[in-house]
Structure 1
């Protein structure tokens, strides 16, 4: 059976719901053209790094329109409050509608990139989501963008990461894409929670050349190529050694 793309794989982090701030880190261990390494996905959007079809490296932060995701009237669409220098602002469609911000970002294999997402309930209707990132080239947090959307007061919940092959050219599934994620944590006022458990899931396609587990006490995801599912069964849970629950 032939497949057009490597299977998308995800980590769903065991964190409290509706928090003000989430941090996570990605360290790409193997990349290919047409790959999205999502670092902080949540119920209202996602942020991470990509390698485009031409090999160009990018950072991306997207927020969906209000829950219906059906391209609402302009007064109910995502609004961009801030965009950093060099950040391109646009709208997206297909899998729902919303606002998208992208910028060239020279991340490298083997080099950690940190993301921080902050949420502010503005008026009980709109929530502002702010994305920050840093690595060795940007030692201080860079404020990539802030976008507000209608949430009826919701903050950050449903936190996850994923690795996705969006090249889908019939050959890309033969290539390995992999990354380590951690340490994912959330903060709110004086409260700080480090994630010690994540669930491994995948999209509805059928290839079994996917895997997830722990390496250096960080969560990892692998998809494509000669990968074998030897560490964590699909829909299984991965627990760090320092989990005290």
Structure 2
């Protein structure tokens, strides 16, 4: 039968690779036995029933490594694409991940991100599952000759942009977890699309990395369209935490696929581009093989000139931490910098006023950003300290957030907030518009300096008497030196505050969303803006007296 145009069924994306062909030696040795056998089975079924097409030839880059990897990394840049295009960036032991352009409008964009895994044994009910999917990522089963779990995210990748794809694996509770990440190198932001899970096996991700270019449907979006992509910086990270480069590289285009490729059977090319310091694959249109191919369809490739001995990577970074105590539990929330290496694991410590650790919890969950810790604590001041280890096994700098176990240290009422460093009071300057900053002014009798403090569900709302319906708000600001503003009342954590006693008659005023402290910074004159700042131990700029007006 003719293959249907089911762009979202990932398993068919690899099926065409082996339709009726004898794969090159490099391809055979690059795949695990299970993956290779699945592809062979696909080919046997297809060759018996396929109709003629004019699809551009399927192509492979194979990178050979010496050792099994806990992490694999590879970069891709697509320069020409069309519907029915699959650019697989990381094919590994029993699974694959990459980017795709599809005519299917169900995802809201043609340019999607995929990560999928075959079942170890569907017949034996040993199944691959998705233990985590990001918001907007869709997970479902795929079937046919080879069954498993697939995930699709409407990532909206674009041509002429480099993307860095990473797989990070770990073993826990007799399972193997494999998380898929992608980084847009134009803004350096990382995204974790899914974590796939199978029962624990002897290896992690396997040795080799394969990349794949496919025009999976050869009727409407066929070989007349040129598709081209560059690939570079293929790395393995071993269980011993050593970076490993590929020892050899090879390209192959499917052979004996004339019935499917039709007039585009020799419309393929590959090589190394010195200007990009990258390997490329292209097919379709007027593409022809370079002279290096002769009459063949395989090519050995040179060493990437500027890959170096280890990748250049950042260290995972925590932007902020906030914490609160209620009914015998500590709730801790943290935010990580999306432009730094993604979180792999986290450690949350609770410290008493003397700085001694009274409780520690650890999590191997890349997506985790909060913890609820059952813990009976005496009344007093405490600190939550969070440290993350990133996917490259680098440990971040710890970041802290203060909290108190006294549930209502300040009674609901109207107060002045007076800064210790300046002696000036928090003042809204009579402004009532959303987004207006709050300032310091000499203490006076004015509603601009009267703040209504209300305790709700473990946090405080702080509202100026002269700005009805407005409350202090972080406006999603997280950087040191960013503005503290007023905004219309809402239920968001931007308007939730902790008032934590410093033990000397003053309080820290801490925003729940960003974990930052109200700080007079260096402002001493009337009208100076109050800003957010990370905890500065003992600083009088972050200490406020809360007094009746």
Q: What range is the shorter-chain TM-score in?
A: 0.7 to 0.9
Change (3 A) 1:230 1:241: same
Match of 2:86 among 24, 36, 45: 36
> CA shift at 1:155, angstroms?
1.2
> CA shift at 1:73, angstroms?
5.0
Match of 1:230 among 272, 290, 296: 290
TM-score norm. by structure 1 comes to 0.88
Which residue is equivalent to 1:131? 180
Which residue is equivalent to 1:160? 210
Which residue is equivalent to 1:62? 116
TM-score norm. by structure 2 comes to 0.41
Change (3 A) 1:171 1:105: closer
* Secondary structure, counterpart of 1:193 in structure 2: strand
Query: Aligned pair 1:193/2:244, yes or no?
Result: yes
Deviations 1:187-207 (A, max 9, x none): 124311233642111234141
- 1:1-245 equivalent positions in 2, closer than 5 A: 3-54=53-104, 56-66=110-120, 68=121, 71-72=122-123, 74=125, 76-122=126-172, 126-136=175-185, 139-150=188-199, 152-157=201-206, 158-169=208-219, 172-188=222-238, 189-195=240-246, 197-204=248-255, 205-206=257-258, 207-215=265-273, 216-230=276-290, 232-233=292-293, 234-240=297-303, 242=305
The answer for unaligned runs of 5 or more in structure 2 is 1-51, 259-264, 309-549
Change (3 A) 1:143 1:235: same
Deviations 1:156-189 (A, max 9, x none): 1231001111222166112111100011111124
> CA shift at 1:140, angstroms?
3.2
- The whole-number CA distance in structure 2 between the counterparts of 1:33 and 1:15 is 33
More relative contact order, 1 or 2 (CA 8 Å, 6+ apart): 1
Larger radius of gyration: 2
Given that 2:53 and 2:219 are in contact with CA atoms closer than 8 Å, whether structure 1 keeps it comes out as no
Change (3 A) 1:29 1:232: farther
RMSD: 2.3
> CA shift at 1:136, angstroms?
4.7
Change (3 A) 1:187 1:92: same
Given that 2:164 and 2:185 are in contact with CA atoms closer than 8 Å, whether structure 1 keeps it comes out as no
- The whole-number CA distance in structure 1 between the counterparts of 2:221 and 2:156 is 25
Change (3 A) 1:171 1:58: closer
> CA shift at 1:52, angstroms?
0.4
> CA shift at 1:107, angstroms?
1.0
> CA shift at 1:111, angstroms?
0.5
Given that 1:17 and 1:156 are in contact with CA atoms closer than 8 Å, whether structure 2 keeps it comes out as no
Given that 1:212 and 1:232 are in contact with CA atoms closer than 8 Å, whether structure 2 keeps it comes out as no
The answer for unaligned runs of 5 or more in structure 1 is none
- The whole-number CA distance in structure 1 between the counterparts of 2:187 and 2:205 is 25
- The whole-number CA distance in structure 1 between the counterparts of 2:53 and 2:198 is 36
Moved over 4 A (4+): none
Higher helix share: 2
Change (3 A) 1:45 1:169: same
* Secondary structure, counterpart of 2:233 in structure 1: coil
Change (3 A) 1:82 1:27: same
- The whole-number CA distance in structure 2 between the counterparts of 1:227 and 1:141 is 34
